[in-house]
Structure 1
Amino acid sequence: MASDGSIRETHEAGTGRAELPYRLRQQALMGAFARMALQTRDLDALLQRASELCAEGLGASCCQVLEYRARDHAFVIRACTGLAPGLVGTDVTAGDEATPASYAFRTGAGVLANGIHGGAGAPQDGARFHLPDILASADLCHAVNVPIALGDVSRRAYGVLEAWGREGHGFDRADQEFLAGFAGLIGIAVERHQGDARLRDALDHQVQLTREMSHRVKNSLGVVAGLLRLQARDAHSDEVRHALEDAGARIATVAEVHDHLWRGIHQLGMVELADFLRELVAKLQEEAPGHALACEADPKVISADQAIPIGLVVNELVTNAVKHAYPQGTGPVRVSLAVRADGLRLAVRDEGVGLPPGFEVSMRQRSLGLKIIGSLIRQLDGRLTTAADGPGAHFVLDIPLA
């Protein structure tokens, strides 16, 4: 009986290659591909690199990754090396089981088919195969094919990884195992890609549901605000009318945030604060004809949980200025937002009669508006101060950001 050493020597003489360096090179190529598979999410690039490395590791004339498409029982060439680049995306029938790829996919087993000539041959596994039409003119006569299996419960196959060689470059079982190792790594990458796609679809669906919910909340709040304004018109006292109008304005401010949430293109639950404040001040301008309301704001995306209390503070301060700053007429009210290293600085100022003597924002306030402001500032973990830097009242709110 021939020894393993003599068998190896005979094999090396027949193939013209040194067996040990050849196998070590295959291991190195598989390791390089495994690292790439962990680092990239680009499936097309990964499949193309797999075909290149498999062809290199086997000394094959060509190698291709075939994805099975069930709806028309066909393979799609997803990547190829050694063939015309334009073949990527081409359909190949999967119904002809006399081709190695179709046989490997149906049986779920690797196929060695050395010595295919003239449309037929006698491969090592006993089956008889022929060249597929797409390779018929490529002077190929050796093939090795392995299915690309997925690890889900169904154990379905993604497709086939196959390599073809010309005369004098037959493949052996170790080559088949090398190709099977690559197919396993490809299967893992495909599963990850499909899982990512499912997660993206689920996230997109969740985003759509959340935006739809925000849109409906905004519409519902708008109806409530409208009803309060309508009720205010029929109020029998100024006190009740003002209370209803103020309540409607507060609800409209919250509705404005939800309007930004469903229309926004930002991360789920986030609001562009500058756009929100400008639109809020524009809405308040409609309720304060004759006053010149203006807003200057640095761009900043924040969560809706922060945007709502900030908007309510602006609503209270601007509404208070409109009501009390100009008892004999109208005048300007300016809102500004600056993004600082330590957070946000929001300022609301007017040029009216100013704050009453002895006013301190830290003191316990009797008016509902100032009580609301105090509660909102605690919610924001902010600090409200007044600045005596000119005519009128000047409120400054500093808000830390995580």
Structure 2
Amino acid sequence: MGKDHAETWAVAPETGGSPAEELEYRLRQQQLAAEYGAYALRTHDIGALLHEATRICALGLHSRYCKVLEYLPDEGQFILRAGVGWRPGRVGHARVGADLESPTGYAFQTGEPVISNHLEGETRFRTPALLKEYGIKRAINVLIQGDGSRYGVLEVDSPTEGRFTRADLAFMQGFANLLGVAIERHYVEEALRTTEARLRTAVAHQEVLTREISHRVKNSLAMVAGLLSMQRRDSSDPSLVKALEDAEARVTTIAQVHDRLWRADEVHRVQLAAFMSELCDKISMSAPSSQTLTCAFASVSIATDQAVPLALLVNELVTNAFKYAYPAGVGDVQVTLELAGPGQMRLTVSDQGQGLPADFDAEASDSLGMTLITGLSSQLNGQLQWHNNHPGTGFVLDFAMPEQTEEKI
């Protein structure tokens, strides 16, 4: 992932933020988990997977310290295998006890998560020497488990006063689940270097684990959509209701995309026509009865990492057209995806509505919708154009499709 997500909008619960700010904080946690799931799909370096997990978990809980503790059966204790915030020489060397008197050991041996918000007054466990050394005041521990085997513990530590909550625990446990699957996939990939028979078995198992990651991302996003829906129903502020409604629709679309991906026979490529037709059917179901959506897609397969931003882009463009193109509420929106040359695709979304405003400037717009459209187009490395069709508006995006394979019909 490699980006620094340190932003100022997310307000931790203990800082006294409003319900809307706390909701945004929780939404950000789930977004980070979803981003890590996508990162785990394309990363095969176990060290990078573990380090990124600690970086993102620390970020998600606004803490300086996070670590992955791997259990060493021969020693009967943990080694600090990856982490952020710790001084040089600690990662890869520091040991922590694995007995039931230790919060880390208790979480590992019982499988039960541990939240300690007041370590100096903790009576259930002793405080590990490593935490005392860094002045840690509170910690949260969750088990990292693969396919039946326990790897270790994921722990976030904070030297500041405050509290970790059950919602933080849900974020951590979901993250540990993703990490457990990613670690298990790493072990499977190591087995690929053995016999040919193991190779065939491991590849099949890897496909299952990859689907499982996408499935878990989908479930996390569905939970976020539910939280947004609850907050929207409880709000009386029309502008907040509108913002939450838009956010819920976007998160739901991402969840639906991941649902389609994890159910597919091929996890690395997507059959474009079937994939996008299903998306358009879902968009049409949510549109007013007086508005229609007409779609046509080339019979090609595209890489999964292109399918996701492409689906989100189509959803944003069509939703915006339904909202703004036809003030009278009656009209049609057309979507086409076609081959524009060898290895090239062209996405066109158009309508016959009122057209673009006279002062329209996509680059100068600060609206969230336009920012998403521009960002998703850049993610596809595409060249985008807006046209005033007289009547209506046209959006065209040309982008490359690596290793494009056309289906035989």
Q: TM-score under structure 1 normalisation?
A: 0.49
Instruction: Select the structure of larger CA radius of gyration.
Output: 1
Which structure carries more relative contact order (alpha carbon 8 Å, separation 6+)?
2
TM-score by length of 2: 0.48
